[in-house]
Structures are given as structure tokens and as C-alpha cells.
Structure 1
Amino acid sequence: MSDTFAARHAGTPRANLSRYVTYLLGCLVFSAGATLFIHSELGVDPLDVLSLGLLEHLPITVGIAQASVAVVCIAIWALWNRRRPVLAPFVTFFLCGSLIDLLRLLDLSALPGVVSLALGVLLCAYGSSLIIMSGTGIRAMDLIVISMTQRWRWPFWAAKVSVEAVLLTAGWLLGGPVGIGTLAFLLFVDGLIQPFMAANGKVLHIPNRGIEAPAARVPATTGVAA
């Protein structure tokens, strides 16, 4: 499907169905990767490093910490783009959280930690690529990343690594745990999302509604999520 065709038929029922199927598949794949990541016990992702670091100083839960980070990211995005704050990121937040809770009921004891981490990295990266390309429920921090790519012409991977490196550094300074899995997430998950998006476009002909859409249309059509 060409970009012109995708833009012309962006509002049709068929296009909307394709968008939501891509989004839901992305959430499922990402949640499976996050479950494997947790099972590996080799480290947490940068957002969790910050969340756990905040817990060292504030009487809150991990969920509240992550939601607070999402609120800050959405506020920055809204001010930067002069847009109203969006709520769709929280749909992704709670949907993926619920899926992870369900998937953790599976018996993964046969998977060694390193294998679990490697699979988790691939699935988290691919799931993230699908969510972003769907243009629906894009994670709050990725809203900022997309704005960086549109305004500063940065490659997606560079913007993504930069934003997550800030979260990681802040969390580490607050006392959050950093392990080999954390670095693997920062380098490989963040680094693989852009190549996966390119492959999805060329091989599967999935339109990239999250990044290739004009900046003014992204928040209105996606309700873009954390």
C-alpha cells in the first residue's frame, strides 16, 4: 500500500480496522516481550529504573510512578506542539499492563534467563514498532520522540535512545536498579524499532501512521500513548 493510498483512505472502515488490528497486535507482542524481560531477571527497562528510583523517595506504587511519568511526557508534548493533552496513552498503559499480568501466569521456567532476555528484546522492539505504526495509543514518551524526529529531523532510534537515556540516568541517580537487561533494552530495543518499522513497510506494506503522518494530524488521528 502506497503512502498516498494510505492517506487517501485513512478514514475508511477498512483502514480503521487495519489500524486497530495493528495496534492490538502490537500491544500483545510488546506485552509478551515485557513478560519475557521480567522473567529473565537480568534488569528492568529505563522507565522501570526511574519508577523504582522514585519509590526510594516517595510513598507511591510503581503504577502511580509510571503514570506520573506519562503525565509529564504528555504535558511536555502538548506544550511543545500546542495541542490538547491526549488520554489514549493511558489505554495502552493499562491494556499492556493487564496483558502482562495474564501472560505471567504462564510457566516459563524452561527458558534460561539469557534466552528470555533475547526474545524479550526482539518482541518488545517489534511490538513497539507496530503500536507506533498504527498511529493509535502511542506511548507517552514516544510522542516526544516523534516530535523530535519531526522538528529536529533526528533519526527515530537516536531520539528514542536519548529520551530513554534521560529516564535511565534520572532513575539511576535516584537509586533505581540497573542491570545488563537495562542496557540491552536501551541499546537494542530502542535501536531495533526503526529497522522493524522500515521492514514492516517494505515487506508487509503496513503504512506508518505514527511518524510519516504530518505533525498536525498525528495527535488528532491517533490520540497518540506511554
Structure 2
Amino acid sequence: MFAYDIYEPIDRKVEDTFPTIFTLHGIGADELDMPGILESIMDRFVIVSIRGSVQQGPGYSYYKPVLDGEPSEKTISYAANNVHEFVETILKQYPSIDRKKMYLFGFDQGGIVAMTEFAKNGGMYHGGVFLSTKLPSFLEEGPKNLLLKSKRIFIGHGTKDPVFPVTEGERTVKYFESLTNDVTYQTFDVVHNVTAEEAEIVLDWFTRVEVDNPAAKKENS
């Protein structure tokens, strides 16, 4: 079980359910890193921030990075499977989560793990946001999940990213466009980070189809 923080709308009623975002941070960060991006929608979304289980400097990661090349499929899949088991556990503990409106949101290594979980079990999610990350090659080579056809995807990447070149963003777009017809891709004139501009665009993406008050959606309760 991962360490985590959960943020539920303060004025919720017992029967209310809300769209929910599971966040996965980058290498060397922790569960406090991602929620700040989402602060302005915490009155309408449940945010579950997952801390990686591997100590990485002053922070954490979801698996131990390698110096050269790409970690093995086994390494990444193991981390993704742990995230999946964590999500299943959290769903049993928090009735405020709307199971029909769950999102994965990953940055850097968190994006790699989130994409792997999404490619395998995306049928249970409404969409995914993957920023400044790299698509594992084994996903390109593996079977396509037909349950992803109607899922919403946002991919953001910095044009000056020295960690994952912008061509990695383009690879990710191509992969998800082969699975779903709802892919949004945007580049930013930044390095390996999330700017206020990108955060604002991500927030807009999250709220575009969630404009109704989720507390009023009693059919999902």
C-alpha cells in the first residue's frame, strides 16, 4: 500500500460522489508535488496523491531508474500493478469517489507508470493526463486495449525538455491516437517542468466535461 494524501471537497454530503484524479509524481518528488496544480478544482474533484514507494534522494520514485536505456517491462509493469491494486483498495475506503469519472494524472516517471496502468486497465478510467513523460516501448509493441476507444487523453510536453525530448511526446500522441479519438496534445516552451500556463490548460481540460456540480449526479452515488 502506498502512502498517499486525499483531498475531498469540504462541503460534501454523505451521499455525494465526485470525479476523482489519481496523481503520480516525478522522480525525487513526493505526494505533495502534484496536488498544488489541482488546487482550484478541489471543491469539485476528489484528489488522491500517490507517493512512490522507492526512496529517491530526498523524495521518492515508483521504481528504481536505470542509468542507460529503458527499465524492463517487468519493472514498470510491477509498479503499475501496484498502482492498480492501490486504486482498487482506495475505492473500497472512500464512497465519495465516482467510479465512472476517474482519471490518472502522471508527470515524468509517474506518467510512465500511469500510462502503463491506463493501457492495461483504462476501461475503469474516464481519461488520463500525461505530462513530460516517455511512452514505454513495450506498450507500442503490445496488444491494444479496445476498451480505450472513447477515453479522453491529454498529453503535454516541453519543447526544450532535456530529459525526455519533445519527440517522446509525439510518440505518446501517436500511440494514444491509435486507441482513442479524443486525444489533446499541446507543447510548451519549457524544459522538464509544469508551468502556470500548462497547469491552467490542464485544469480547463479537466473541467470542460465536468461543468455540472457532481454532487447533483445522484445516479452515480
**Do they superpose with TM above 0.5?**
no
The structure in which a higher percent of residues are helix is 1
* Larger strand percent: 2
User: What TM-score comes out, normalization by structure 1 length?
Assistant: 0.29
For normalisation by structure 2, the TM-score amounts to: 0.30
